[in-house]
Amino acid sequence: MTNITPSTSGAGQPHPKPGPPKARFRPWLVRMGENRVVRTFGPFVPVILLWWIIAELEVFPSAFFVGPGTVFEKFDELIAKGILPAYLGDSLERLFYGVLFGMLIGVPAGFIVAMSAWARKLTWPLLMFFQAIADIAWLPIVIVWFGFSLTAVTFVIVYTIVFPLMISIVSGVEQVPRDVVRAARSLGAGRLQVFTEVILPGALPAVATGIRTGLGYGWRALIAAEIIVGTSGVGFLMFDSRRAQEVTGVFVGMIVLGVLWFALDALVLAPFERRTIERWGMIRTAEAGR
Amino acid sequence: MRTLEISNLHKEFVDAYTGQTVVAVGDVSFSIEQGEFVSVLGPSGCGKTTVLNIVAGFDTQTSGSVLVGGKQVDGPSPERGVVFQSFALFPWKTVLGNVTFGLRMRGVPRADREAVAHQYLELVGLQGFEAKYPHELSGGMQQRLGVARVLANEPEVMLMDEPFASVDAQTRRKLQEELTGIFETKRPTVFFVTHDVDEAVFLADRVVVLSSRPSQVAEIVTVPLERPRHWRSALDNPDFRHTVTYLTDLLAAGEPNADESEDAPETSAAAGAVGEG
């Protein structure tokens, strides 16, 4: 075997063989890589394959671990029965209200704390304190106050979103370069104009990060709240399935959560960032598709 | 007519760590005539940027006065546009949005401000780039935009704080030549801070040399060069070389530790650099 290699290369041939196949293979791979669909879903193929193999080999008993096929059937069934769409609708509605109120409170509050040294001094210790109390740690008292209601769940989501949002906005405003503010002032901008023309867009990357982080926390808090408050929703679906010793439902719920986050990122967050901060060259998003 | 008049400017600040009072600007007085280009030259850390910041209204003096167009400086104003070393463009605005910013702040109607903007973009050679964002331009183009943005406001005086220090050497030469061209056509009043002797001499009508901290005006040197100026001819011009050598000596003498080592090596190094450049 070892002799063959030197002898072929020793023949002094310009190796016409390895060249063309490589050339044909490369563009094919590159072309695959350029395809958005392939790039988005490609990485999941081996994961699903591995999942399927483990399930087929019956490494774990089916009461603990089910394969993609079973989960897909269950998914189909839940959709047909209308349970999944209804629960999903409930979860998204709660998330929507939570995020809406969270942003309505967090964005102005963040800018007030960021812009006023006084407000910062007064509120910073409070911010730190309340940020440290985990969202779910509020659930017991929230349930006492609001019962097992939409209000209780919304409260927890608002709570989780407000603090990271405020803290990112404060650091975002601090990161607006001093010279850019000075440039605006020396071009004739007044204090209000500096805020609307410089501070707001300048802090946008941080606001976007804050919304992303806040949404992620909010989404997790929602599921946790639904598991505990539990009347409907994706979190409730998972918890209810577990109670019924039905692992498949839990799997469905987990996948739905992942897919939803993916969709939210691809349909809302990423396009917004592409059109603003990325267009302006302020940051490059980590997202592969561009 | 004097556009800018600085008298007995003095600035102290308290160091946040040591609690000591530091004198950043000792006693600085000089003035700039309308349509004059003045370079302020000094060793790094001599407080020349502090002087500029006080003139711009970003910082306040401990004592002394700064008059622009006969009025006491009080905070930033479009009468004193600043070109920054860091460019300080608005990344979220297009080239056109950056140039029209000052006019828009002052309430100039859209059609008028766009007409003015096009005129200044053409002046700095950025016509056709109106819809681009700053990050899509090269460093040199970004600073040309910085100049156009200030000039479009037609300020009493344009303040430039080492504007070409963060571009590469070749681009810097080009930008200096372009700035001279712009100055020769528009005749704005320019206050230009730099630590680069060649640059100070090439651009200016007069060079104000500041000593190291606490800074004072060591000397004001009139540059005996005709306009229009070009690097090609300036470098061959003995007057240019003599002025550069003279200023280099002056700066070297002002250095705290330069006394004992004589000025000879400094001078020859500078002369070598000039001959090469």
Domain topology for B2-79+155-276: Rossmann fold (3.40.50)
Do residues A247 and A152 share a domain?
yes
Q: Which of B55, B92, B98 to mutate to test the interface with A (most CBs of A within 10 A)?
A: B92
**Is residue A269 domain-resident?**
yes
The rounded distance, in Å, linking the Cα atoms of B6 and A228 is 71
- Burial letters for B76-103: b for 16+ Cβ neighbours within 10 Å, e otherwise? bbbbbbbbbbbbbbbbbbbbbbbbbbbb
Which of chain A's residues have a Cβ under 8 Å away from the Cβ of B106? 188
Do residues A197 and A248 share a domain?
yes
Do residues A52 and A88 share a domain?
no
Which of chain B's residues have a Cβ under 8 Å away from the Cβ of A279? 133
> Residue A206's pLDDT is what?
83
- Please give, rounded to a whole number of angstroms, the shortest distance from the CA of A105 to a CA of chain B: 25
Of the candidates A189, A202, A204, which has its C-beta nearest B105's C-beta? A189
**Is residue A289 domain-resident?**
no
Structure confidence by residue, pLDDT tens digits, A175-206: 899 999 999 999 999 999 999 999 999 998 88
- Please give, rounded to a whole number of angstroms, the shortest distance from the CA of A18 to a CA of chain B: 41
Residues 6+ apart with CB under 8 A from A36: A289
Q: What residue segments make up the domains of chain B, in order of their start? A: 2-79+155-276, 89-154
Do residues A171 and A29 share a domain?
no
Q: B68 pLDDT band (50/70/90 cuts)? A: very high
**Is residue A90 domain-resident?**
yes
**Is residue A105 domain-resident?**
yes
Residue of A nearest to B154 (CA): A187
> Residue B256's pLDDT is what?
55
Q: Which of B90, B106, B154 to mutate to test the interface with A (most CBs of A within 10 A)?
A: B90
Do residues A261 and A134 share a domain?
yes
Do residues A81 and A175 share a domain?
yes
Q: Which domain holds residue A238?
A: 71-278
Residue of A nearest to B106 (CA): A188
> Residue B77's pLDDT is what?
93
Instruction: Enumerate residue ranges in chain A where pLDDT < 70.
Output: 1-27, 29, 33, 283-290
Question: Cβ distance B130 to B95 under 8 Å?
Answer: yes
**Is residue A5 domain-resident?**
no
The rounded distance, in Å, linking the Cα atoms of B30 and A242 is 83
Q: Which amino acid does the sequence have at A203? A: A
Per DSSP bridges, beta strands B80-83 and B71-72 are unpaired
Per DSSP, what are the bridge partners of residue B83? Answer: B160
**Is residue A63 domain-resident?**
no
> Residue A26's pLDDT is what?
64
Looking at per-residue pLDDT, the higher value among B85 and A135 belongs to B85
Structure confidence by residue, pLDDT tens digits, B131-142: 999 999 999 999
Instruction: Supply the ipTM of this predicted assembly.
Output: 0.87
Quick one: DSSP state of residue B23?
E
Q: Indicate whether B270 pLDDT > 60.
A: no
Size of interface A-B (CB pairs under 8 A): 77
Do residues A222 and A138 share a domain?
yes
DSSP string over B139-200:
HHHHHHHHHHHHHTT--SEEEEESTTTTS-HHHHHHHHHHHHHHHHHH---EEEEES-HHHH
Using the beta-carbon criterion (under 8 Å), do A182 and B133 form an inter-chain contact? no
Using DSSP's 3-state secondary structure scheme, residue B9 falls into strand
Do residues A212 and A86 share a domain?
yes
**Residue among B74, B77, B37 nearest B192 (CA):** B37
Cis amide prior to B214 (ω within 30 degrees):
yes
**Is residue A29 domain-resident?**
yes
Which of chain B's residues have a Cβ under 8 Å away from the Cβ of A193? 105
> Residue B255's pLDDT is what?
61
Using alpha carbons only, what angle is made at residue B215 by residues B214 and B217, rounded to the nearest 5 degrees?
A: 150
CB of A205 less than 8 A from some CB of B: no
Structure confidence by residue, pLDDT tens digits, B216-229: 898 999 999 888 99
Per DSSP, what are the bridge partners of residue B28? Answer: B9
CA distances for A156 relative to A115, A140, A144, A153, A160, angstroms:
27, 11, 13, 5, 6
Question: Cβ distance A121 to A179 under 8 Å?
Answer: no
Q: What is the CATH number of the domain that holds A101?
A: 1.10.3720.10
Mean pLDDT, residues B159-166: 93
> Residue A147's pLDDT is what?
82
> Residue B273's pLDDT is what?
39
Q: Which of A180, A187, A191, A193 to mutate to test the interface with B (most CBs of B within 10 A)?
A: A187
**Is residue A129 domain-resident?**
yes
Do residues A149 and A214 share a domain?
yes
Do residues A24 and A166 share a domain?
no
Tokens of A77: 């069934």
> Residue B247's pLDDT is what?
93
Do residues A100 and A166 share a domain?
yes
> Residue B136's pLDDT is what?
92
Do residues A48 and A112 share a domain?
no
Q: B116 pLDDT band (50/70/90 cuts)? A: very high
CB of A190 less than 8 A from some CB of B: yes
Number of domains into which chain A is organized: 2
Which of chain A's residues have a Cβ under 8 Å away from the Cβ of B149? 183, 187
